[in-house]
Amino acid sequence: MKFTDNPKYENNPILRLTFEFAIEIVKYSERLDRLQKYVIAKQILRSGTSIGSNVEESQNAESKKDFIHKLKIALKEADELEYWLFICNEIESYENADFLIAKLTEIRKILNSIISSSKKTNIPIV
C-alpha cells in the first residue's frame, strides 16, 4: 500500500506534507551520496525524515502535552535540517538546497501554527 492510498494522509495536510518532504529529502541525500558527500547526506537524511516521523507519532499522542512535545521535536529536527541545508548552499561542490529550504519553511510555519493553536485550546487532543 502506498501512502496515497491511506485516507489518513489525505485528510491530514501536515502528515501528507511532511511525508512528501521526506521523499524529497531521501532523493536529495541519494544525490549527495553519488557525489560522495556521505557525512552531510547522512545528517540530512536523518534530520529530514525525522520531521515527518515525529509528526506521525504525534497523531497517537497520549495527551495534549505529549502531542505538543512531539511536534516540538519535529521543529527541532527542522532547525537542524535547515543548518545542514545552509551548509550545502555555502559549498560550491554541493547541490543547491533552496527548494528544500523553501518547503521546510512552509512546514515550520504550519507546525508552529498547530503548536500555538493547540496550546490555546482547552479541548483535549485525545
pLDDT in tens, 30-54: 999 999 999 999 999 999 999 999 9
| Domains observed in the chain | 3-120 (1.20.1440.60)
Q: Grid coordinates in use for 42?
A: 547522512
Alpha carbon 93 to its chain centroid, in Å, reads 25
**Which of the four pLDDT bands, split at 50, 70 and 90, describes residue 3?**
confident
Residue type (1 letter), 63: S
Task: Kindly report, residue by residue over 50-95, the tens digit of the pLDDT.
Answer: 999 999 999 999 999 999 999 999 999 999 999 999 999 999 999 9
Residue 107 has pLDDT above 90, yes or no: yes
CA distance 95 to 13: 28
Query: How much is the pLDDT for 100?
Result: 98
